[in-house]
Amino acid sequence: MAIAGFPDANSTGLPDGVILTPSGDVTITQPGAVIDALDVKGTITVLADNVTIQNTRITSSDWTGIWIKDGITGTVVKDSEILNVGSSPDGANGIVGSGTFLRNDIHDVENGIIVTGSSLVQDNYIHDMNAPDVRLGTSLGGPHYDGIEIDGGVSDVVIRHNTVINENSYVSAVMINNDFGPVSNIQVDGNYLAGGGYTLYSDGSFSSTDKISGVLFTNNELGQGKWGYYYFRDNTPVLTNNDELGTGWQTSSPTTPPSTPEVPAAPAIASWSPDTGKTGDGITDANQITLHGTAAAGSIVKVYDGSTQIGTATATSTGTWDYITKVLTDAKHTLTATATNSSGQTSAASAAVAVIVDTKAPAAPTIASDTVNSANQVVLSGTAEANSTIE
């Protein structure tokens, strides 16, 4: 059971009122696709960039519930329930891949999330880790339970404000190793982490050349594993302000409750494209434009045209976002954005960006008169569309 102030069954997984549509395996090849409100019996395979999976239940009987292919970027998995009832010799995982993972309820797995690239893992509830039949007959001899796992070749990961409870006596709540390459810049901050053989496990012994560096465990509530809190080998993570709770794995509020998250800073619309014609004049002949901006990592960015919301985007773990508008009318559009964090707090609006959409060719100009001036020059007078250039 989670402790107060941290993610639990009430704050993660499927939102109330979601009606699910039954589905089998799903393979996504369309960039920008949104998978919403499915009841998937199988595996979701992500082979395209900028895919969102939300409000969905995945019950897998294979090696993973969601697989995000290496090199795929911009994946968001949020507000979903993931469990694995399989007995594969390759394991029973919740999510394998990189992306932004928010408010998911992950249970009945061997490994909750295996992170394979730069990622933000925030506000998830990983618990009831139960996969007794996986890896039987292999050299591993059975399941090796890890709540969140990094196996090398990974940098720039933020693991923030999750609940991870490994009820088994092996291996860890958070596992980091260099089996498949070096590891750097891993922040594990403000989580409730409990159980396993050791609660926190960072093993750099797999390679003498691919080092583990820049691992920070800060401000976490730690429930002791069977053998202790920490197993660190051939690397030296930074430990700061972690609260060791003992073996009782308390279910009431910690002595020092987590601080209230701050309201996120206002996002920025840094640029837009395509800016056709004269660069910088704010006029385009395209009726769909792409906005590029920055916002708090993991926040939901809402985009407005005047006072009307026209869409949303999710900021990546590095705080960038992109949004492609729907078809815009020929007119001046005043675009702003706000950012909402996982606690529901919304920022002030960004600075406004004005874009004039003009997709229609102007009507032919008219020549009303022509004269010759004293310099022996022909002077033509006529009418044309306002602000157009006459050639």
Q: Give residue limits of the domains in the chain.
A: 21-244, 268-357
Q: Evaluate whether 68 touches 97 at the Cβ level (below 8 Å).
A: yes
Architecture of the domain defined by 21-244: 3 Solenoid (2.160)
Mean pLDDT of 359-378: 79
The reply to whether domains 21-244 and 268-357 share a CATH topology is no
Confidence class of residue 252 from pLDDT cuts 50, 70 and 90?
A: very low
With 60 as the cut, is the pLDDT of residue 103 above it?
Answer: yes
Pairing mode, if any, of strands 228-233 and 76-78?
unpaired
**Which superfamily, per CATH, for 268-357?**
Immunoglobulins (2.60.40.10)
**Which residues lie closer than 8 Å to 20 by C-beta, 6 or more apart?**
14, 37, 38, 39, 56, 57
In the beta sheet, which residues pair with residue 369? 381
Confidence class of residue 259 from pLDDT cuts 50, 70 and 90?
A: low
With 90 as the cut, is the pLDDT of residue 277 above it?
Answer: no
**Which residues lie closer than 8 Å to 238 by C-beta, 6 or more apart?**
215, 216, 217, 218
Can you give the pLDDT at residue 365?
81
pLDDT digits (tens, 9 = 90+) for 150-205: 999 999 999 999 999 999 988 999 999 999 999 999 999 999 999 999 999 999 99
pLDDT digits (tens, 9 = 90+) for 300-333: 999 999 999 999 999 998 899 999 999 999 999 9
Pairing mode, if any, of strands 238-240 and 212-218?
parallel
